[in-house]
Amino acid sequence: MRVSVIGGGVIGLTIALRLSQRGIDVSLFDSGCVGGEASWAGAGILPAVNRIDPLHALDRLKHISFDLHAELAVELLELTGIDNQWSQCGGIHFATTLGEAAALRGSRDYWNHESIPFRELTPADIRRMEPALGEMAVGSLLTAFLFPDETQIRNPKHLQALIAACRQHQVEIHENCEILDIDFSSSAVTLISDQGRFTSERVCVAAGAWASRLLQPVLPRIQVVPVKGHMLLFRLPQRRFTHILNNGNRYIVPRNDGLVLVGSNEEESGFDKSPSQEEIERLLLFAEGTLADLNTSTLVDSWTGLRPMSFDQMPFVGRHSEIDCLFVATGHFRSGLHLSTGTAHLITQLICGEKPTFDITALRPSR
Ligand SMILES: Cc1cc2nc3c(=O)[nH]c(=O)nc-3n(C[C@H](O)[C@H](O)[C@H](O)COP(=O)(O)OP(=O)(O)OC[C@H]3O[C@@H](n4cnc5c(N)ncnc54)[C@H](O)[C@@H]3O)c2cc1C
């Protein structure tokens, strides 16, 4: 059997790898370079999840994805020699305004209900754990919580490793090949691209923020909207702190070689990826206020990426209700790096005709 995967982000690459490991012939198509869009632009945070008794399909997806990442990191290192730097470094979530503090404190019941391990920190705890934290952040701290399970992967390395592993498993990778349309009128699926036509028995659309364009003719109600996010990259001589520092939707992620990522915002401006100076300055202010070492002299790069957001902020993962050979894996919004492993696991099960590990009706593409 040959399966076409449209989109070579973290979702498409992980699906391609898992299918090829089942002995399936896989062709992967990307309109640009594989791993060049949101999956590269992201931060690689894998948040703490309910690992004890998740009930809802999304929580179960978060749970299996979290666990599968630990296994995949080891597997990719063995297969390719590339270390994706999976690290359960822990995360500190802190508030410096009354509103943020109320939101954080109000989440305690939810974390308890979801069996997510956490503990409250005092300013003295934080000074002891992360002495590099700026006096501004600690001095004006209203509340903070530690999530020991919070984990990171270095997503560009993760993508490199996935690409290398896919090549090892003979995945045919077609870059700079945009799929313009999919023809389901005969027994084989035909992809119509700017490089010609390709046929396969099944197709999985994993085209991230661009997925609606391809899916509209067969799933008219599906809506995946691009949501732009900015990221700043700083370089420090060495690693100055170890935890991921979270403040509302913004975060600071320490890589193990002194690089530090600071993100992010949410902006709906279509497919326009141009950066906004105002947003860069806002993030710079947040970074400087949290860690004095992060300033214009240590800023080395900035970029944006387009997150694929669905209307209910849940991903679309499943088979088309009427077109048996069409599978969909998109709409992962702020969690695609995290949810990629579980998504690939479920799509592989579906394509191989197996019952998925749990009921994924809630994630169906036709909802
Ligand atoms: C600033 C930022 C920070 C983030 N941080 C995190 C984080 O910390 N943790 C987390 O889990 N997630 C994070 N995310 C979200 C995460 O990056 C995305 O959810 C995830 O990358 C989506 O993966 P994808 O494969 O669906 O999309 P993409 O990586 O965008 O890949 C889609 C691919 O499809 C290709 N394509 C599109 N249309 C076609 C076509 N017609 N033909 C051929 N190819 C096509 C594109 O070229 C692209 O390469 C972040 C995102 C951003 C922008």
**How far apart are the two ends of the chain, measured CA to CA in Å?**
29
Residue 136: its pLDDT value, please?
Answer: 65
Query: Does 96 or 178 have the greater pLDDT score?
Result: 178
Which residue owns the Cα nearest ligand 1 atom 22?
336
Contact indicator for 254, 240 with CB cutoff of 8 Å: yes
User: Ligand 1 centroid vs 169 CA: distance in angstroms?
Assistant: 23
Q: What is the pLDDT of residues 157-204, one digit of tens each?
A: 999 999 999 999 999 999 999 999 999 999 899 999 999 999 999 999
28, 182, 337, 338, best to mutate for ligand 1 pocket (most atoms within 8 Å of CB): 337
Residue 266: its pLDDT value, please?
Answer: 96
The whole-number average pLDDT for the span 130-136 is 79
User: Ligand 1 centroid vs 70 CA: distance in angstroms?
Assistant: 21
User: Ligand 1 centroid vs 337 CA: distance in angstroms?
Assistant: 8
Q: What is the pLDDT of residues 48-59, one digit of tens each?
A: 999 899 999 999
Query: What pLDDT band is residue 108 in, cutting at 50, 70 and 90?
Result: very high
Supply the DSSP string of 98-145, one letter for each residue: HHHHHHHHHTHHHHHHTT---EEE-HHHHHHH-TTS-HHHHHT--EEE
244, 335, 340, 363, best to mutate for ligand 1 pocket (most atoms within 8 Å of CB): 335
User: Would you say residue 134 has pLDDT above 80?
Assistant: no
Residue 140: its pLDDT value, please?
Answer: 83
Query: Could you tell me if the CB of 11 is within 6 A of ligand 1?
Result: yes
Query: Could you tell me if the CB of 267 is within 6 A of ligand 1?
Result: no
- Mean pLDDT for the chain? 96
The whole-number average pLDDT for the span 46-69 is 96
- Helix, strand, or coil (residue 223): coil
Query: Could you tell me if the CB of 226 is within 6 A of ligand 1?
Result: no
pTM of the model: 0.97
333: left (phi over 0), alpha (psi -120 to 50) or beta: left
Domain ranges of the chain: 2-84+154-223+312-363, 91-148+225-310
User: Would you say residue 135 has pLDDT above 80?
Assistant: no
Q: What is the pLDDT of residues 221-241, one digit of tens each?
A: 999 999 999 999 999 999 999
User: Ligand 1 centroid vs 9 CA: distance in angstroms?
Assistant: 5
Indicate the range of 81-90, 163-172, 282-291, 335-344 predicted with least confidence: 282-291
Query: Could you tell me if the CB of 10 is within 6 A of ligand 1?
Result: yes
Indicate the range of 27-31, 117-121, 128-132, 154-158 predicted with least confidence: 128-132
Contact indicator for 48, 92 with CB cutoff of 8 Å: no
Percent of the chain with pLDDT over 70: 99
For β-strands 25-29 and 172-174, DSSP reports them as parallel
User: Ligand 1 centroid vs 308 CA: distance in angstroms?
Assistant: 7
Question: Under CATH, domain 91-148+225-310 is a member of which superfamily?
Answer: D-Amino Acid Oxidase, subunit A, domain 2 (3.30.9.10)
CATH number of 2-84+154-223+312-363: 3.50.50.60
4, 17, 37, 150, best to mutate for ligand 1 pocket (most atoms within 8 Å of CB): 37
Supply the DSSP string of 32-49, one letter for each residue: S-TT-SHHHHS--EE---
